[in-house]
Structure formats: C-alpha cells, structure tokens
C-alpha cells in the first residue's frame, strides 16, 4: 500500500485504554501515511480512566507504531491534555524524535500555528476535577451502550446512531460551550498574531475561518478517535480535515511485524525503545 506523504498530521483525543477507543482504525490510518511531523494533541493515553485489566493488544500496537514512525525520521510531538496531565511533569523532555510539550508553535510556510490541547479553557477541569473525571467514566459507559445499539442497527440494515452527538447538539449549554471555546481560542490567536490555532479536547472536528475587528485566523480542531475518527493534515501549504469513515482503508490494516507480535513482545518492544 502506497503511503501518503504529508508535512504535518495532528491527532488528538484517542483515549487509549478506554472501551470507546478505535485503536484498530487509528492503526490503519497511521500505516497509510508518512508524515514529517506527527502531533499528538492531548488525551492520547487516558491515564484518568486507566484500568490494569483493560489495555488491548491493538492499543499497544498504536504506541509501537508511533515509536516506529519516530525511529524512521518523523518528528513526534506529544502535547499533554487533561486525561494525560501526569505527563506534564516531563514537559520539554525529548527522547530521540519524540518531544513532550504543553504547547507547540510551528512556522508553516511563513505562518505561525499555535497548537495546544484546549483544557486550559475548561473551568470544570481546572476547579472541580473530580466532576470532570466522573463525567469521563459516564461518557465511556455511554459509548459502550451506543456500540450495542449500533450493533443492533447494523444487523437491521440501518445507519449507526450517535447518542453523545445527539445529547451535545440538543443541550444548549453544550452547544454554547463549543462555540465559546472556538471564539476564545481564535480571539487569543489573532491577538498574538497566529494565523492558525489548532486544538483538540472538545471532540468536535472543525476547520473554520474566524474574523474579529483585530484580524483573522484559521481555527482547527482535530476531533477524536472515539466517535468522529478524524485528523488534521497539512501539506502543500493547506490544511485538510481527514475523516476515516470517508476513506477506503480496510479497518485494522497494520504492518506485518505488528500483526505477528504478541502482547508481551509488544510491551517489551515499547519498554526497551523507551530506555534508549
């Protein structure tokens, strides 16, 4: 399979270690691209909801694939989010081509891009973290219920249905929060002369031009790999929003070496690589 060469790829909100994570589909996507820079924009590993008994093989395969990309020349930037905030104690640490950061500013063809997860705008996380964590568990449970419903719908020959999207779109406060999030991020970007602001966190893939009295910027959100299965791609001086469900990739497509490695071999390979 021929891999697409890209300048920058941004993914966020993968939530490895949770039931809702579509690790197999993400692995298929990562195997279809060859990026110069891979930006992991927060909540990649869900440390908040980590379960010792639940971390499937394909979740480890995603980590191993990211490490493999870095060893082959891809610059990997792991930007911390709220679900993996424990990694913030390692901010500004680099291991080969893998960098751990809280935010990133890139110069893309003469235009500055401000890239960060976005949880800094979330008062519920900053001041009442236990409520936010409880909400995370509830969201994970909702995804499990939704998968069962969709299994029935597919069996009946009907289209899949998203409970969480329906709830978000019907609750006025949720819609207002998303709009406010976009406006605050965009206004700050314009104020600081950034032409692009790239976020995650709210699981809403977006690419929209924002304008205020002080200027303009392009607001981008990479979405998530729980429901939307989306990523941001930058190549030939332009951004595009990638949707896995609109691609023709075969789910769970992966490198042969990853397929043949068992759970213990994957864990050992990741641990050994991390020590180098």
Segment 103-161, tens digit of pLDDT: 999 999 999 999 999 988 765 444 444 334 444 555 566 566 776 667 687 778 887 76
| Number of neighbouring beta carbons within 10 Å of residue 196 | 20
Q: Give the global pTM.
A: 0.80
Query: Kindly report the CA angle at 143 between 81 and 49, in degrees rounded to 5?
Result: 40
Helices 23-30 and 57-71, interaxial angle, to 10°?
20
Residues present in the chain in total:
276
Residue 275 has pLDDT above 60, yes or no: no
> In CATH, which superfamily holds the domain spanning 4-275?
Metallo-dependent phosphatases (3.60.21.10)
pLDDT band of 273, cuts 50, 70, 90: low
Phi-psi region of 24 (alpha: psi -120 to 50; beta: other; left: phi over 0): alpha
Q: Where are the domains of the chain?
A: 4-275
Q: What is the pLDDT of residues 219-251, one digit of tens each?
A: 999 999 998 999 999 999 999 999 999 987 765
Average pLDDT, the chain: 84
Enumerate the β-bridge partners of residue 209. Answer: 218
Residue 274 has pLDDT above 50, yes or no: no
Q: Long-range contacts: 143-152, Cβ < 8 Å, 24+?
A: 143/18, 143/19, 143/20, 143/226, 143/227, 144/19, 144/20, 147/19
So what's the pLDDT on residue 165?
A: 61
Answer with the residue of higher pLDDT: 167 or 266.
Answer: 266
| Residues 194-226 pLDDT 10s | 999 999 999 999 999 999 999 999 999 999 999
- Partner residues linked to 93 by β-bridges: 100
**Which one, of 3, 67, 51, 130, lies nearest residue 16 by Cα?**
51
pLDDT tens digits along 21-77: 999 999 999 999 999 999 999 999 988 666 667 789 999 999 999 999 999 999 999
The DSSP string of 226-241 is: TTT-EEEEEETTEEEE
CA 68 – CA 270 distance, rounded (Å): 10
More confident residue, 50 or 80: 80
* CB contact burial 98-137 (16+ within 10 A = b; e otherwise): bbbbbebebebeeebbbbbbbbebbeebeeeeeebeeebe
Mean pLDDT of all residues in 162-188: 68
């Amino acid at each position: 399979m021929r891999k697409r060469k890209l300048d920058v790829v941004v993914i966020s909100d993968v939530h490895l270690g949770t039931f809702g994570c579509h690790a197999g589909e993400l692995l298929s996507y990562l195997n279809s691209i060859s990026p110069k820079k891979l930006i992991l924009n927060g909540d990649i590993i869900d440390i908040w909801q980590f379960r010792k008994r639940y971390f499937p093989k394909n979740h480890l395969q995603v980590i191993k694939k990211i490490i493999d990309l870095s060893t082959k020349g891809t610059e990997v930037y792991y930007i911390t989010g709220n679900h993996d905030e424990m990694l913030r104690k390692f901010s500004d640490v680099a291991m080969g081509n893998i960098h751990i950061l809280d935010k990133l500013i890139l110069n893309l063809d003469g235009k500055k891009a401000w890239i960060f997860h976005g949880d800094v705008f979330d008062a519920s996380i900053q001041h009442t973290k236990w409520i936010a964590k409880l909400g995370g568990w509830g969201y994970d449970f909702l995804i499990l219920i939704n998968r069962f419903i969709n299994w029935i719908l597919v069996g009946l020959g009907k289209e899949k249905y998203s409970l969480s999207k329906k709830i978000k779109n019907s609750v006025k406060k949720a819609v207002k929060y998303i709009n406010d999030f976009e406006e605050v991020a965009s206004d700050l970007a314009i104020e600081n002369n950034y032409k692009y602001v790239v976020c995650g966190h709210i699981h809403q893939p977006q690419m929209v031009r924002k304008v205020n009295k002080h200027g303009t910027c392009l607001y981008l959100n990479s979405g998530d790999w729980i429901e939307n299965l989306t990523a941001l791609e930058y190549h030939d001086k332009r951004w595009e929003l990638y949707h896995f469900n609109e691609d023709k990739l075969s789910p769970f497509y992966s490198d042969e070496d990853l397929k043949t490695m068992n759970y213990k071999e994957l864990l050992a390979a990741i641990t050994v690589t991390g020590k180098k």
